[in-house]
Protein backbone atom coordinates (compact mmCIF):
# COMPACT_ATOMS: atom_id res chain seq x y z
CA UNK A 1 0.00 0.00 0.00
CA UNK A 2 1.42 3.33 -0.94
CA UNK A 3 1.88 5.88 1.78
CA UNK A 4 -1.34 7.74 2.50
CA UNK A 5 -0.55 11.13 4.00
CA UNK A 6 -4.01 12.01 5.32
CA UNK A 7 -4.96 8.81 7.15
CA UNK A 8 -3.70 8.87 10.73
CA UNK A 9 -3.81 6.57 13.73
CA UNK A 10 -3.65 7.78 17.33
CA UNK A 11 -4.89 5.78 20.32
CA UNK A 12 -5.95 9.06 21.93
CA UNK A 13 -8.17 10.03 19.00
CA UNK A 14 -11.25 7.91 18.32
CA UNK A 15 -9.66 4.94 20.06
CA UNK A 16 -6.98 4.51 17.41
CA UNK A 17 -9.38 4.11 14.49
CA UNK A 18 -8.11 5.47 11.19
CA UNK A 19 -8.97 9.17 11.05
CA UNK A 20 -8.57 12.00 8.61
CA UNK A 21 -5.52 14.14 9.45
CA UNK A 22 -5.89 13.50 13.19
CA UNK A 23 -9.36 15.02 13.23
CA UNK A 24 -12.24 13.32 15.00
CA UNK A 25 -13.53 12.15 11.63
CA UNK A 26 -13.01 8.45 10.96
CA UNK A 27 -12.55 6.76 7.63
CA UNK A 28 -15.59 4.65 8.57
CA UNK A 29 -17.71 7.77 9.00
CA UNK A 30 -16.76 9.04 5.54
CA UNK A 31 -17.47 5.64 3.97
CA UNK A 32 -20.79 5.45 5.81
CA UNK A 33 -21.85 8.85 4.50
CA UNK A 34 -21.01 7.85 0.94
CA UNK A 35 -22.83 4.52 1.37
CA UNK A 36 -25.87 6.42 2.62
CA UNK A 37 -25.96 8.34 -0.66
CA UNK A 38 -24.22 11.60 0.24
CA UNK A 39 -21.94 12.97 -2.44
CA UNK A 40 -18.57 14.60 -1.89
CA UNK A 41 -19.95 18.12 -2.05
CA UNK A 42 -22.54 17.37 0.64
CA UNK A 43 -19.86 15.91 2.90
CA UNK A 44 -17.54 18.86 2.36
CA UNK A 45 -20.37 21.28 3.11
CA UNK A 46 -21.30 19.44 6.32
CA UNK A 47 -17.66 19.21 7.41
CA UNK A 48 -15.97 22.37 6.08
CA UNK A 49 -12.62 21.43 7.63
CA UNK A 50 -12.39 18.42 5.28
CA UNK A 51 -10.92 18.60 1.80
CA UNK A 52 -11.77 16.62 -1.33
CA UNK A 53 -8.44 14.79 -1.06
CA UNK A 54 -9.46 13.59 2.43
CA UNK A 55 -12.47 11.82 0.95
CA UNK A 56 -10.40 10.30 -1.86
CA UNK A 57 -7.83 8.94 0.58
CA UNK A 58 -10.56 7.57 2.85
CA UNK A 59 -11.95 5.64 -0.12
CA UNK A 60 -8.48 4.45 -1.11
CA UNK A 61 -7.75 3.27 2.42
CA UNK A 62 -11.12 1.50 2.73
CA UNK A 63 -10.64 -0.26 -0.61
CA UNK A 64 -7.19 -1.44 0.48
CA UNK A 65 -8.53 -2.73 3.83
CA UNK A 66 -11.26 -4.87 2.27
CA UNK A 67 -8.87 -6.72 0.00
CA UNK A 68 -8.99 -10.36 0.97
CA UNK A 69 -6.09 -12.73 0.62
CA UNK A 70 -6.77 -16.43 1.01
CA UNK A 71 -3.98 -18.27 2.77
CA UNK A 72 -3.93 -22.03 3.20
CA UNK A 73 -4.04 -23.36 6.75
CA UNK A 74 -0.77 -25.06 7.55
CA UNK A 75 -0.77 -28.12 9.79
CA UNK A 76 -4.55 -28.41 9.98
Give 17-72 pLDDT, tens digit per residue: 999 999 999 999 999 999 999 999 999 999 999 999 999 999 999 999 888 676 77
Give a yes or no: residue 1 inside a domain. Answer: no
Q: How many domains does the chain have?
A: 1
Which CATH number goes with the domain that contains 15?
1.10.10.10
pLDDT greater than 90 at residue 3: no
Runs of H (alpha helix) within 1-76 = 27-35, 40-46, 52-65
Query: Can you give the residue range of the structural domain that contains 25?
Result: 7-62
Which pTM was predicted? 0.83
Q: Is 74 among the domain residues? A: no
In whole angstroms, what is the distance from residue 30 CA to residue 56 CA? 10
Q: Is the pLDDT of residue 76 over 60?
A: no
Give the separation between CA 76 and CA 63, rounded to whole angstroms.
Answer: 31
The DSSP code for 26 is: B
Q: What confidence score (pLDDT) does residue 75 get?
A: 67
- 36 against 73, higher pLDDT: 36
In a domain, 31, yes or no: yes
Amino acid sequence: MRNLKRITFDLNIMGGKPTIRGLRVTVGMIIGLIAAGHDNQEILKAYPYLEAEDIREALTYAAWRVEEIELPLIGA
